[in-house]
Amino acid sequence: MSIEQLADIARAMVAPGKGIIAIDESNATIAKRFESVGIPNSEENRRAYREMLLTTPNLGEHISGAILFDETIRQSTKDGVPFTKVMMDNGIIPGIKVDKGTHALAGCPGEVVTEGLDGLRDRLKEYAQLGARFAKWRAVINIGEDIPSGTCIEANAHALARYAALCQECGIVPMVEPEVIMDGDHDIETCYEVTEVTLRSLFDALYQHNVMLEGTILKASMVVSGKDCAEQASVDEVAESTVMCLKSAVPAILPGIVFLSGGQSDEAATAHLDAMNKLGPHPWPLSFSYGRAMQSAALKIWSQDLVGNVAKAQETVFARARDNGLAALGKWSS
């Protein structure tokens, strides 16, 4: 696939008023979500849940793509239609999570590095045949006493860059996700500093690995106060700090930036995105790639009746997609 084709897909992922729904939870993670609402973590329940999400009527009006898990990209609706076909028929681009999760970074207490590069080239080829047009790799940067270290930031940036280069080699748009974690009592200024250093290291590594930025999407965390910080930044402070940080570290040639919700409440994630877009125009579209902030309300409704509440749960999914689509245009109001 040419860089022009990759660039076309990347631009479609951040089309005006559209964003990404992340339904790429591992089986262990979705088990926790199901347990919280009393649902057994069976393969059929996982399949039915993701069918409910992906078959939401008119979802493609506000959702450009969906990140799937390995199990999900191989599944079909109860009527036997592959999920990837359902998505493409509704204008939703299939994506796939390809990392193997975080592991302790040797020699760096309290820090982690994401693994999964071994065998990735062959896995990407298979995912492309299954219909994936973009992929996602998440790195985790923790803030704490004397961390993050330069070693941790560089190790994760290097892995993200190697992953991105392999994606483009296989004709898949890489979504690079260096998440600066909200956990901790740090203030917003500390989050800004760590996020800026992390992004600068990432884009330096992407350059060193000859990754074509025109065919790459950044999935970024917002610049926010730590969850346990005594002074929580306002919506406007978060918006202004995040935009300033991105402008200082992210090249303008990038097709777009999507944000993770990172443990924020549904409404806070939407409000922050809306406030950022109200500050525009920006060098790149600012949109969303939300998981919990798109699904949590629908999961609670669906869990009460896995068959009878499908339509009601889908109404909630669509409402969240619509609200975040408006926020991506700076036109949402609470």
Catalytic residue annotation: 177, 219
Counting Cα atoms < 13 Å in the Cβ hemisphere of 269 gives 27
Closest of 172, 179, 150, 168 to residue 259, by C-alpha: 179
CA-to-CA distance for 114 and 141, rounded, in angstroms? 10
List the beta bridge partners of residue 221: none
Q: Is 118 exposed, middle or buried (0-12, 13-18, 19+ CB in 10 A)?
A: exposed
C-alpha 101/C-alpha 96 separation (Å) is: 14
What SS3 state is found at 205? helix
Question: Residue 225: which residues within 8 A CB-CB, separation 6 or more?
Answer: 186, 187, 188, 191, 231, 232, 233
* Both structure tokens of 1: 């696939």
